[in-house]
Amino acid sequence: EVQLVESGGGLAQPGGSLRLSCAASGFTFSSYSMNWVRQAPGKGLEWVAYINTRGSTIYYADSVKGRFTISRDNAKSSLYLQMNSLRADDTAVYFCAKRYCDTRACYYLDHWGQGTLVTVSS
Amino acid sequence: DIVMTQSPDSLAVSLGERATINCKSSQSLLYTSNNKNYLAWYQQKPGQPPKLLISWASTRESGVPDRFSGSGSETDFTLTISSLQAEDVAVYYCQQYFNIITFGQGTRLEIK
């Protein structure tokens, strides 16, 4: 059974930093690209970042570019999101999500973690 | 960037009636080399992560009740729930994966 478990959320000051982790199990982590998606309280889903299987291709939403860094450790089956220069509008539940992939490419998000809440406030 | 726009923003339907949610893409999601539309639908209930319902615009995931169906092509897509059940109350999102990922703003489905 695929499991994705996020951790590292909490309260941060504006301008501060947090590092989120996502522990993966139940599948060959190194074979799948991964994403972070966030959801502000009472709002919709916003894609945040993407990383391919080897970490050689990375994309970010414009709203976090230059402040957030996605990374992965395939040996530990773990995904990370380093969040710097945090702002109040970064307050959200952050989900890690696995993409369905075949031999050619990766597509939709087929498994999601339960999410971890990040609150940015003074 | 591909912009996804859903309509309506909210919808109230009687139990047993049909619910229809629309999703429009700012550019075609049809990949001509494989003739597939890169469009998925998700259901999200309060306090839960989104759940994948449909991929490739019309392929229902395993375990998803057959009252859920997806249709459409290129830029216009529809999620239909043929006979609304109480457990279908949720927010529904469309999502394109043609170019990275973007979501629609969501449609809140309630019981009338």
Would an 8 Å CB–CB cutoff place B38 in contact with chain A? yes
Q: Which pLDDT band holds residue A104 (cuts at 50, 70, 90)?
A: confident
Q: Which pLDDT band holds residue A88 (cuts at 50, 70, 90)?
A: very high
Contacts across the A-B interface (CB distance below 8 Å): 53
Distance of CA A70 to the CA centre of its chain: 7
Give pLDDT, residue B97: 96
Q: Which pLDDT band holds residue B85 (cuts at 50, 70, 90)?
A: very high
Closest CA to A118 of A14, A5, A30: A14
CA-nearest residue to B57 within chain A is: A108
pLDDT in tens, B101-112: 999 999 999 999
Whole-number Å distance between alpha carbons of B1 and B40: 17
Give pLDDT, residue B72: 98
Percent of chain A with pLDDT over 70: 100
Across the interface, whether the CB atoms of A109 and B104 are under 8 A apart is answered no
Closest CA to B72 of B1, B34, B20, B13: B20
Across the interface, whether the CB atoms of B103 and A45 are under 8 A apart is answered yes
Strands A116-120 and A92-101, how do they pair?
A: antiparallel
